[in-house]
Amino acid sequence: QVQLVESGGGLVQPGGSLRLSCAASGSSFRVYVMGWYRQAPGKQRELVAQITSGGTTNYADSVKGRFTISRDNAKNMVYLQMNSLKPEDTAVYYCNCKYDNSYWGQGTQVTVSS
């Protein structure tokens, strides 16, 4: 069982930045595939960014060049640096771990509005 706790969401103006953090439990963190997903009202949950145990990353086209996913295996942490935020980035952001199963955090709200 892996537990995930997100933090760092909030309200930001268009063009601003936020950094989301996700703390994961377990002693095998370094082999977990970690990702960030988001779900806007009335829409399906979608993959935002993913990072493998080897550090390979992939991003949704809508966030390429603006968001960066990273991980710190020593701290069991994964981060999502979000720059140049747009109103359409508004959503609940969820941390995800793929290991023996797929695990989800509780989500953190990101609102981009002036």
Locate the DSSP E strands across 13-90. 18-24, 33-39, 46-51, 57-59, 67-72, 77-82
Residue-wise pLDDT for 34-77, tens only, equals: 999 999 999 999 999 999 999 999 999 999 999 999 999 999 99
Q: Are 7 and 93 within 8 A, CB to CB?
A: no
pLDDT band at 27 (very low <50, low <70, confident <90, very high): confident
Residue at token pair 């990072």 = 51
